[in-house]
Amino acid sequence: MAALDLGGGFAVTRDAIVATALTGTGARGLASPITVDARLDADASAWVHSLGADAGRRMRSLKQVHGATVVDAGALADGRVPEADGAWTSSARDILIVRTADCAALWLVDPRRRVALLHVGWRGAAVGIIRRAVHALAQQGSDPAALVAAAGPHIRRCCFEVGSEVATHFDKIEGAVNPPEVLKTRTRAGTVSLDLAAIIATQLREAGVRSAATHIAAACTRCSGGMLHSYRRNGQGGPLMGSIGFLE
Ligand SMILES: [Zn+2]
């Protein structure tokens, strides 16, 4: 099927947003298209089923709280939904899933061995979920320098307007905080532009992931022509993008 390149190692087809950056790693990364609201497990499962990805597998949902907890999906009892914003697995039985709308889904793959999937917004980044996830994988024997990282479509610096109380968490990260002129629209005084991609790239590098193996989707959820779900565009309670990761 014809795929539209989203830039940064992602493409979109009618059925899914595809993390092409993970090609050849033995793991798949897919996110739901604008036509799918993945908020509910039943709807997310129906979408996963339509992709033919679920034969003999179990979907591993999380109760996302913008924290830094990363769980071992393979150790969870069936049906248990832990309070966490990331999970990893070494088993091809598990389909990891996170929900986002403006935050980033972040896949971390130790080729042919292990996959992790994280929900990363500014809060999760501020409390260190990326470092925690790389550490969890390293404890299982995955060398951070061998990981492939792919961050899915999220709100880019063109639209990510934040107050100084948010920006202050990231003022030591080069390129993270940008002047308001970077924003396409500004809704209130005293705000700046936050570059979540710069934060993710820096935190991955600090955790030992190679920059050459780090891919970040270029598309902005807020302003990419209504192609992607966006919390800031659609408002609270709006549809969510489901992102899944699994071993082939
Ligand atoms: Zn934008």
How many domains does the chain divide into? Answer: 1
In the chain, the percentage of residues whose pLDDT exceeds 90 is 88
In a domain, 12, yes or no: yes
Q: Which residues surround ligand 1, an ion (CB under 5 A)?
A: 156, 158-159, 220, 222-223
- Residue 179 inside a domain? The answer is no
For the segment 21-46, the average pLDDT, to the nearest whole number, is 95
Q: Tell me the per-residue pLDDT of 142-156, one tens digit each, with 9 for 90 and over.
A: 999 999 999 999 999
Both structure tokens of 143: 């060398």
Model confidence pLDDT, tens digit, residues 213-237: 999 999 999 998 777 888 888 777 7
CA 109 to centroid of ligand 1, rounded, Å? 27
Question: Does residue 189 fall inside a structural domain?
Answer: no
Residue 66: predicted pLDDT: 97
- The alpha carbon of 91 and the centre of ligand 1 are apart by a number of angstroms equal to 36
**95-140 pLDDT per residue, tens:** 999 999 999 999 999 999 999 999 999 999 999 999 999 999 999 9
Q: Which domain holds residue 235?
A: 4-155+213-247
Cα 88 from Cα 105, distance rounded (Å)? 13
Model confidence, pTM: 0.96
pLDDT confidence band for 1 (50 / 70 / 90): low
Residue 107 domain flag: yes
In angstroms, what is the span from residue 154 Cα to ligand 1's centroid? 9
Residue-level pLDDT at 61: 96
Residue pair 110/87 in contact (Cβ under 8 Å)? The answer is no
Residue 187 lies in a domain: no
Q: What pLDDT, on the 0 to 100 scale, is given for residue 2?
A: 72
pLDDT of residue 125: 98
- CATH number of 103's domain: 3.60.140.10
The residue type found at 173 is I
| Ligand 1 center to 3 CA (angstroms) | 21
User: Distance, CA 60 to ligand 1 centroid (Å)?
Assistant: 30
Residue 164 near residue 188 (C-beta atoms within 8 A)? no
Q: Is the dihedral of CA 226, 230, 236, 239 positive or negative?
A: positive
In a domain, 168, yes or no: no
Question: For the stretch 7-41, what's the b/e string if a residue is b when 16 or more beta carbons lie within 10 angstroms of its beta carbon?
Answer: ebbbbbeebbbbbbbbeebbbbbbbbbbebbbbee
- How far does residue 159's CA lie from ligand 1's centre (Å)? 4
Mean pLDDT of all residues belonging to the chain = 95
Domain presence at residue 37: yes
